[in-house]
Amino acid sequence: AQSTQAHTVLTFDGDGIGREIVSAAKECIEATGVNIRWEQMDMGYEAMQNTGVYIDDSHMDAFEEIGVLFKGPLTVPPKDTNAYVEVRGKRYTSGNQVFRKYFQLFANVRPVRSMPGVRAPFNDVDLVVIRENTEDVYTGEETWVDADTVHCVKRISRGASERVADFSFKYARDNQRKRVTALHKANVCKQSDGLFLNTFHERAAATDLGGIIADDQLADSCLTKLMIEPKSFDVLCCPNLYGDLVNPLSLRINRGMVGSLGLCPSGNIGTHQALFEPAHGSAPDIAGKGIANPTSQILSGCMMLSHLGEFEASQRLENALRAMYASGIVPVDFGGQADTKEVVAAVLKHL
């Protein structure tokens, strides 16, 4: 049942289509009846045109304190403007990097689910990619050891492997999933991927999985199988690099043959903070036209509701969205007529 508890959520519209799809999603989230107090702030590339500030300590303090952020996409400052993002004494290439790195949002979560009525290469796909977000080959530690050779550090730690494994099992339990599969190349990277894999199985053995299967698969054979039979997967628990490779492939499944990124939500979860946003960018080509598909932002809202413990409202909103697609409403990015407002009206009707 829906709780009467009040939740405080920090929200940034972001750039481009951000304002249009964030306000559309908020309207749908509020219609579930969940009690949310939105703490609205401006940040990003467009805010910087007005105030000179992309992000500053006030945004960091607010996220630190409130702990849940619902945001639209951000435009990455163009390289030639020299507009890097600097906050709390460090430079980052984008606003999203700031949140992920500074707050150690260690689990990137991307559900990939076929939508009824959307023509796509595969139907009945329902998988979730959980990507470890803090280490592996993305630590930035690359060293020239001589004029012709570079060493790149692939960092895998027991602690980071444990927390992403534990997160994956908890996510699977909370979301009624049946199987969690760890990706690895422990046949080649015996120590590093071996540590990730062994830790995954150790945590599985130490956890009450409630019937959920914990197994593993070589990353290369998993990628091949994803292209042929994506519906055979449920939750994938990936080290950073393999997660990065799986994600575009799974987005391709979700986009459909005439499809769009407008279907793809994401969550970035840490120990104390969590951020929910679409998996796509700020779509400057359609910004301000009122035709952006708010589905990705609404589904990010469903993920946020589950994170807040509002599972029933989350399910109800997702069901309404799916019923809307099944009823034949076709958003503009799928070649149809339904603009942002019409999609929202149809979702509210089904809710």
- 96 scored as a contact of ligand NAD (CB under 6 A): yes
- 261 scored as a contact of ligand NAD (CB under 6 A): yes
Among 74, 237, 275, 305, the residue binding ligand NAD under the rule CB under 6 A is 74
Beta carbon of residue 301, minimum distance to ligand NAD (angstroms, whole number): 13
Q: What is the contact mask toward ligand NAD in residues 269 to 298, using x (rule: CB under 6 A)?
A: --------x--xxxxxxx-----xx--x--
- 108 scored as a contact of ligand NAD (CB under 6 A): no
Nearer to ligand NAD, 240 or 260 (CB): 260
Residue 188's φ and ψ, nearest 5 degrees, are -110, -55
Residue type, 162: E
Which of the ranges 46-54, 67-75, 118-126, 183-191 carries the binding residues for ligand NAD, by CB under 6 A?
Answer: 67-75
Question: Measured between alpha carbons, how far is 40 from 37 in angstroms, rounded to an integer?
Answer: 9
Apex 96 CA angle, 301 and 11, nearest 5: 40
Beta carbon of residue 198, minimum distance to ligand NAD (angstroms, whole number): 33
Among 260, 268, 273, 306, the residue binding ligand NAD under the rule CB under 6 A is 260
Encoded tokens for 312: 């029933």
Is 210 in a helix, a strand, or coil? coil
Q: Count CA atoms closer than 13 A to 32's CA, side-chain side.
A: 29
Q: Which residue is nearest to ligand NAD (CB)?
A: 281
Residues whose CB is less than 8 angstroms from the CB of residue 280 and which lie 6 or more positions away in sequence, other chains included:
73, 261, 262, 264, 296
Among 230, 239, 259, 262, the residue binding ligand NAD under the rule CB under 6 A is 262
Nearer to ligand NAD, 283 or 344 (CB): 283
Apex 271 CA angle, 266 and 275, nearest 5: 30
Largest CA distance in the chain: 65
Is 309 in a helix, a strand, or coil? coil
Beta carbon of residue 228, minimum distance to ligand NAD (angstroms, whole number): 26
| 53: nearest Cα among 43, 67, 64 | 43
Beta carbon of residue 105, minimum distance to ligand NAD (angstroms, whole number): 12
Is 283 in a helix, a strand, or coil? coil
- 247 scored as a contact of ligand NAD (CB under 6 A): no
Residues whose CB is less than 8 angstroms from the CB of residue 96 and which lie 6 or more positions away in sequence, other chains included:
74, 277
Nearer to ligand NAD, 295 or 314 (CB): 295
Nearer to ligand NAD, 4 or 81 (CB): 81
3-state helix, strand, coil in the chain (%, to 5): 45, 20, 35
- 299 scored as a contact of ligand NAD (CB under 6 A): no
Query: Scanning the structure block, which residue is given the tokens 């304190």?
Result: 65
Encoded tokens for 201: 């199985």
Encoded tokens for 209: 């999985």
Q: Pairing mode, if any, of strands 265-269 and 274-278?
A: antiparallel
Q: Which of residues 176-195 bind ligand NAD (CB under 6 A)?
A: none
- 75 scored as a contact of ligand NAD (CB under 6 A): yes
Q: Pairing mode, if any, of strands 85-87 and 90-92?
A: antiparallel
Beta carbon of residue 309, minimum distance to ligand NAD (angstroms, whole number): 25
Nearer to ligand NAD, 250 or 260 (CB): 260
Nearer to ligand NAD, 22 or 308 (CB): 22
Q: What is the contact mask toward ligand NAD in residues 17 to 46, using x (rule: CB under 6 A)?
A: x---x-------------------------
| 252: nearest Cα among 120, 118, 133, 123 | 120
Nearer to ligand NAD, 50 or 81 (CB): 81
Find residue 214's DSSP bridge partners: 180
Among 333, 343, 344, 347, the residue binding ligand NAD under the rule CB under 6 A is 333
Number of residues that bind ligand NAD (CB under 6 A): 22
Binding site for ligand NAD (CB under 6 A): 17, 21, 73-76, 96, 260-262, 277, 280-286, 292-293, 296, 333
